[in-house]
Chains A and B, each alone.
Chain A
Amino acid sequence: MWAYFKFEFLQFISNRKNIAIYVILLFFSCDFALKIAPTYNPIERVDVSEIEARYLTREAFLNNVVIDEGTHYLSSFAVSIFQEWNEYEGERLEAIKQHNLKEYAEATSKWYTYADKLTFPNAMGVLYYNPGYYTFGNIYATMDGHYAYLYSASRYKAYTEGKSNLSVNVFEERTALQTLQRLLNSYLPLILIVSCILLTVDIVLKDRRNPTLLQGLPLSDWRKLIVKGLVSLLGSLISIIPLSVGLLIIGGRNGFGDFDLPVPIYSSGKDAFSNILMGEYLVQNMLFIVFWFLFIISLLLFVSVLLKNEFANLVVGFMFVIAEFIYFERGLGAVWNVQWYPTSYVQVGQIISGYRNFLYGSETLTFGSGILVMGLCTFIFLVFTFLISNQRKFKLL
């Protein structure tokens, strides 16, 4: 079996299509690191002039406002909230000017908590989150702002408690590991899963090009399939290598960050966010992505023995990647029991960070449920593949 593994792997790494996939990933990675990452402009950035402008305006208002019986109720409201708010704002300003980043983090955490406490209920209907959330057509801007403020409050609080070296790049999540964290929350899992599909799509059916060389090998079809699956898994994991080149470039420019940096995890309880360490977050993501690879590989092995058509493999594989876009409806996750569909877990980073639960308005899309569903589906695909490949008259080629 080891000999067959080596043989399959040799074929895999010398396959032109696979080499092309790795080269394209390397290109994407470098392009992202050199062109896209530098243009990253977070909504919640460290903007001294903005802080200062807001602080001075409110301070001037507080210094000059006269509260009496005739004062407009909104002015009274402003006075009641701006005093504490500006206290935090002032601390932020002072800390960043002094380059005291711990103090800045502490004040900023308080600032976000306080801002969200006032803005989310929006009792007077005059408070808004950062304008960056109010984009055209976004009817969930307030929810997005609420999430982002609490997220920021949580991570800034963790910065004050943690041992990580702080910097503006860390605050703006620009370091290599934080960029990876952001990418895992967006399209990186999709890129990895699609790469896995493309690498696996012909792993069985390519043998039809060399039938007389391979048909008579003294190895059962089931074992051949398992070895092919393992080779495909290894090949899919290797796709991380070209992608890491981009992270090295970003690390060289903005710092790498460290594995003790906090990653806020959303849950729908009273304390919306709790933090885990970056290392733990990345390990969970890696494990989840491995489960996705196993899911895709077992699915494609099953389709390969069932339909024996590469195009069918491609279509079925992509169906599983894009299916969630068809049924995704914000806030309706609990109604539709989306936690039972493996396709609901395609946004791996968002599942682990809890953002998917936030979007669906559910509590059930978790790392654990994802592993369970993906693992169960993988097991079912493998059982069916085993049964088919062990039929006496079954021919792999």
Chain B
Amino acid sequence: MIELKNIAVQFSGRDILKDISVMFNSGEIIGLVAPNGTGKSTLMNVIMNYINPNTGKVILNDELEYTNKKNEVKMHQLVSMMPDQSDLYNQISGKEHLKIYSSMWNSNPKLIDNTIQELGMASYIHKSTGTYSLGMRQRLCFAMQIVSDTQVMLMDEVMNGLDPTHVELISQILVKKKSEGKTIIVASHLLENLEKYADRIFFIKNGELILVNSISPGFEEREITIVRISEMTDKLKEEISKEFPETKVQSLSNGTTLLDVRGYDSGELGNILAFLKENQITEFSFGKVTLNDLYSMFYQEE
């Protein structure tokens, strides 16, 4: 497990991270969600000690801190970050990249072939990475981190450039790694995907790390809490507010309107359904609030 204690980072007098304290446990997938430039990568860089925080510390397994270079090496033996696909060496093969990472972390060499197999990379792994497409490069970067086999894995935009099949494939591998007791911290913009497998999801806003559950208490519950309407006129919104004064109506930046039906019984839900039918609204769904909804709600003011 890895703990962040009172981490604060400032760049040019601007607070990027403000007094962040959080514990990431073993066997947990953590999702980090935020618009670009709000501090996700900075947070990961602090965890890796690529950036020295202005205050605070990173503690690994209750004992290791970045207090000296010797400890840094020990921590990097246990914590790794997925490389960026643009940093691959174009003149050497994918297999060489994997071998290098495997030997640097002294991990089980069998992991190389297993990972190649799992990610379906066998057909191109011996070619120079300069010939790879974005998706192939991204898969290689993911594979490199998998073969490093560290206790804590940080992945920034791991799903970038991947087709849905590979997004699913990588998600399954993440779940498998989680079951092996790894702590996996993923920053991603594929919110639906993240929602599916992340144990905890954090938003970052104004330098603070905010647990999604704390802004939407029913987020993890399996009950109908929301009615999502794709398109709705302002007039209709007014009417619905008059008709159901206790129902909170919220418009998202993507044009979707959400009706908060938390705690409603079947009768009340039926009335809303009837109202929508009367007003010839056909594109709607009953369900729970999604990460996409929360993201839109949380960041729409910006």
Contact = CB atoms under 8 A, between A and B. Distances in A.
Q: Do A and B come from one complex?
A: yes
B3 interface: no
A220 B87 contact: no
Interface stretch (B65-73, B170-178, B229-237, B246-254): B65-73
Contact of A14 (B68, B82, B91, B105): B91
Interface string A1-40: 0011011001100100000000000000000000000000
Contacts of B77: 218
A221 B96 CA distance: 22
Contacts of A219: 73, 104
Contact of A212 (B70, B87, B92, B96): B87
A215 B67 contact: no
Contacts, number: 68
B87 A209 contact: yes
Contact of A216 (B80, B91, B96, B100): B80
Interface stretch (A108-116, A123-131, A389-397): A389-397
Given A211-B87, A220-B72, A14 B103 contact: no
B104 A210 contact: no
Interface in B70-128: 70, 72-74, 76-77, 79-84, 87-89, 91-92, 96, 100, 103-106
Given A3-B100, A395-B50, A217 B76 contact: yes
B50 A210 contact: no
B104 A11 contact: no
B160 interface: no
B26 interface: no
A216 B81 contact: yes
A215 B50 contact: yes
B52 interface: yes
A74 B91 CA distance: 77
A389 B87 CA distance: 23
Contacts of B82: 212
B48 interface: yes
Interface residues of B, number: 31
Contact of A392 (B67, B92, B105): B67
B88 A213 contact: yes
Nearest to B51: A395
Interface in A49-87: none
Contacts of A211: 87
A211 B92 CA distance: 17
A212 B76 contact: no
B103 A3 contact: yes
Given A218-B104, A219-B104, A10 B73 contact: no
Contacts of A14: 89, 91-92
26 contacts: A3-B103, A14-B91, A14-B92, A209-B87, A210-B83, A210-B89, A212-B81, A212-B83, A213-B87, A213-B88, A213-B89, A214-B87, A215-B81, A216-B48, A216-B76, A216-B79, A217-B76, A218-B73, A218-B76, A220-B72, A221-B69, A222-B69, A389-B69, A390-B69, A392-B66, A392-B69
Of B48, B87, B106, most A-chain CB atoms within 10 Å: B87
Given A10-B96, A393-B52, A212 B104 contact: no
Nearest to A3: B103
A144 to B, nearest CB: 51
A219 B100 CA distance: 13
Nearest to A391: B69
B89 A11 contact: yes
B152 to A, nearest CB: 11
Nearest to B102: A3
A6 to B, nearest CB: 8
